[in-house]
Amino acid sequence: MSHRLEGIIPPLVTPFKADETIDEAALRENVRFMLRKNVHGICLGGSTGEGHTLSTEELARSVEIATEEVGGRIPVIAGIIANSTRSAIEKAKAVGRFNVAALQITPVHYVFKPDDDATYAHFERLTRETDIPVIIYNVVPWNYLSPKLLVRIMKGLPGVIGVKQSAGDLKLMADLLVSAPQGKLVLTAVDALLYPSFAIGAHGTIAANPAAVPGVCVTLWNAVKAGDHAKAQKIHEALLKFWNTISADNLPANVKYCLGRQGVPGGQPRMPMPAISAIQARAIDEELQNVLQWDETQAASQAA
């Protein structure tokens, strides 16, 4: 890899037009917005990007656009949400034509849960049939991989370079951090607890808060790295209140609304996800204005 995967890595939304096709111009503007916010990487096709709704061709095109806009300045991660090993490999090969630093891959998410050996075999075949490093996206509630299984996979499969931990339980994050093999990544997607995650050693984050307010999350990361925990705690409090307004089953739609309020076109969610409600918008507006006070890139831009 030419870049180290760490810090703030927003999972970009996928802007859809009224006919539910991808708005490529809006996607390009989203990538440029993230670059202006000094993020450390970006991810396409994740949960916030409604990756579960994207065809292989749509995912590949999104990654192609992102890599064109980034031009090698920061790493690009391709998210893969698939229900079979075969489907995940198909998507991996499709995005592998572009300058992708890693794949973010979920365990299968339909109702039939494979046992630990079958899950290991799933990631073993994935890493055997693609040479792109894999980050396990540990997000599926009924197929949640234990720290013990994750460590087994990371020890046994060199192609698995880390885990994105998405449960709200910080204890699971802490257990994984102390048991993960040396050199493996542990990224947090515990949006409500980004600051504590960073403080106990998470290597970065791929999560919805960074997708909605990337500049704020970069400020938080920098504060923790500088040891300014008083500042970090204040940002944490603002981010938590903000998170409580966007956290819902239509989270991607709410993130798109937040981007729109910052002048970035988010587009529509893809059916059957509902658009943001008027009640949600009012709550978000109040906390968004408050949390954006911590966006130091915004303050610098206004000063200029």
Note the pLDDT of residue 237: 98
Q: What pLDDT score does 94 carry?
A: 98
pLDDT at 185: 98
Using one digit for the tens of pLDDT, what is the confidence trace for 257-304?
999 999 999 999 999 999 999 999 999 999 999 999 999 987 565 554
* pLDDT tens per residue across span 219-245: 999 999 999 999 999 999 999 999 999
- What do you get for the CA distance between the two ends of the chain, in Å? 35
User: pLDDT digits over 12-41, tens only?
Assistant: 999 999 999 999 999 999 999 999 999 999
The predicted structure's pLDDT at residue 66:
98
Average pLDDT over residues 115-128: 98
Q: For residue 23, what are its two tokens?
A: 């708005």
Average pLDDT, the chain: 96
Residues 52-97 have pLDDT tens digits of: 999 999 999 999 999 999 999 999 999 999 999 999 999 999 999 9
Answer whether 273's CB lies under 8 Å from 228's CB: no
Q: Nearest-CA neighbor of 296 among 181, 227, 213, 238?
A: 213
How far is Cα 16 from Cα 13, in angstroms, rounded to an integer?
9
Q: Is pLDDT of 129 > 80?
A: yes
Query: pLDDT digits over 95-104, tens only?
Result: 999 999 999 9
Average pLDDT for 173-186: 96
Q: Domain 7-303, what fold?
A: TIM Barrel (3.20.20)
- Flag the least confident range among 114-123, 128-137, 161-170, 278-287: 161-170
- Name the pLDDT band for 117 (thresholds 50, 70, 90): very high
Report the C-alpha gap between 201 and 62 in whole angstroms.
31
Residue 186 per-residue DSSP state: E
Backbone angles phi, psi at 131, to 5 degrees: -100, 15
Using CA atoms in the order 170, 171, 176, 179, what is the torsion angle rounded to 10 degrees? 150
pLDDT at 299: 59
Q: Running DSSP on this structure, what letter comes out for residue 161?
A: E
Residue 1 pLDDT: 42
Does 143 score more than 90 pLDDT?
yes
